[in-house]
Structure 1
């Protein structure tokens, strides 16, 4: 894989605990982030806590509550083994066994696997678009300006292509910009404009990448096409929400009407 920053998100440098001599602010923020992410899926767990890099009594209690949910000793101490449990959704997303008969199936199945593990952004230090999932998709970048929909798409294509021993950079450059990918599609003649797609839906293939067009050479959002039915596509896309925002907060399975929206389609066929 080309996008490997997620590996750093799966590790802490040392055991972290209240008043610990080896406490590290970044490691504590990672722990607090995963405690907060866990609480989103388990709202009664009592693991939601502030993300400030301070391992105080609130973080200690949140850790103990997490340990309680896992039926393990409630020490309030986070070693690598416990952090592995906290960060297990990311490990499953990026390293889980994925099957597929071809690249298109692999892209779809990788995207579905990420979706199942609930990637979600956090607000850290008053900055949206933050947290371990965003950093993993964006190669370490995070914060309000870092829209991560293309980072998510490229992580999916990269992971799927790597299973087949292929390099996704032969299809498109590493980028976080929808405009860069759209322009690449035009240059390679592998971008189907929305007017053409509306008249010939057979050109839209599962595994391809949609680009929401703002103007002729300006695209504002992207995602993976996982199915085409009638006038609609089913997608998995990052940095969005139920309303289809281009700056939402999660990976979401959505339905979009391509007959009504200006959706261009970037084909992955040349990498298949």
Structure 2
């Protein structure tokens, strides 16, 4: 695989305890906040400030109690591995797939099951380990991560079928870069063609939302998992329940390609170019 930055999110350099400071502590605090969705009713959200103070100790004790472990308030590698298990399990699949299309859809669904979410703190959004894993180690307000999610899925899928995803498209966080490349390589299916013949699009293809008034201004992307009538079912990152292009997580959605300008990058056409 090419996008292996997620591995840096899985380990601590040392056990964190009261009085600890630094990047390891910040990562523990981020994962505590993310774990709050897994343990509703357990007080895990705490400030992400890199200082292992009384509030962080209490949050860790609450997690340990929920897990049935001794409430030491310390985070060793074993406890951190429990916190980071969703990320590891999203990326480290060992199964094989019948085709690249099947791999893309199933790997996207596996990420969805592990509830990738961004964090927002200190006046910034698009933060946290999931975002950094998708964006090659970067996070922050400037790093919209929908394409990072798509390319992480494609990277895993290509790897399981003996390919490099960079043979399919340029590595980039930009929808415009990927859309322009697809148009140049004649792998882009324009919305007008999709409306005339929806069967041109298949599960595993990549959709690109385009601004209505422009021919090459794409602003959001995701994986198409099903085509039903005038709609796509999708799995997409950096969105939300309302379909934002700068939302909080990975969601399964429906999108109407007759009401929105949605182009698609064809996996079949990409495969034909590299076969």
Q: Shorter-chain TM-score category?
A: over 0.9
1:24 offset after TM fit, Å? 4.3
**Selected match of 2:23 from 23, 26, 31:** 26
Moved more, 248-257 or 120-129: 120-129
Q: Secondary structure at the match of 1:97?
A: coil
Q: Secondary structure at the match of 1:31?
A: helix
Q: Secondary structure at the match of 2:52?
A: coil
Q: Secondary structure at the match of 1:212?
A: strand
Question: Counterparts of 1:1-272 in structure 2 under 5 Å?
Answer: 1-19=1-19, 23-214=20-211, 215-269=214-268, 270-271=270-271
**Maintained 8 Å contact 2:97/2:161:** no
Moved more, 56-65 or 33-42: 33-42
Determine the C-alpha separation between the residues in 2 that align with 1:262 and 1:171: 23
Unaligned segments of structure 1, at least 5 residues: none
**Maintained 8 Å contact 1:98/1:110:** no
Consecutive aligned runs of 4 or more in structure 1 exceeding 6 Å deviation: none
For residues 179-220 of structure 1, what are the alpha-carbon distances to aligned partners after superposition, in whole Å with 9 as ceiling and x for unaligned? Answer: 000001101000000000010001001000000011201100
TM-score by length of structure 2 reads: 0.95
For residues 140-193 of structure 1, what are the alpha-carbon distances to aligned partners after superposition, in whole Å with 9 as ceiling and x for unaligned? Answer: 111111100000000000011111121000011110000000001101000000
**Maintained 8 Å contact 1:227/1:235:** yes
1:45 offset after TM fit, Å? 1.4
Unaligned segments of structure 2, at least 5 residues: none
For residues 60-90 of structure 1, what are the alpha-carbon distances to aligned partners after superposition, in whole Å with 9 as ceiling and x for unaligned? Answer: 0100111111111111111111100010100
**Maintained 8 Å contact 1:124/1:131:** no
Determine the C-alpha separation between the residues in 2 that align with 1:241 and 1:99: 30
Q: Aligned in 2, Cα 1:255/1:99: closer, same or farther, shift over 3 Å?
A: farther
TM-score by length of structure 1 reads: 0.96
**Maintained 8 Å contact 2:235/2:252:** yes
**Maintained 8 Å contact 2:195/2:258:** yes
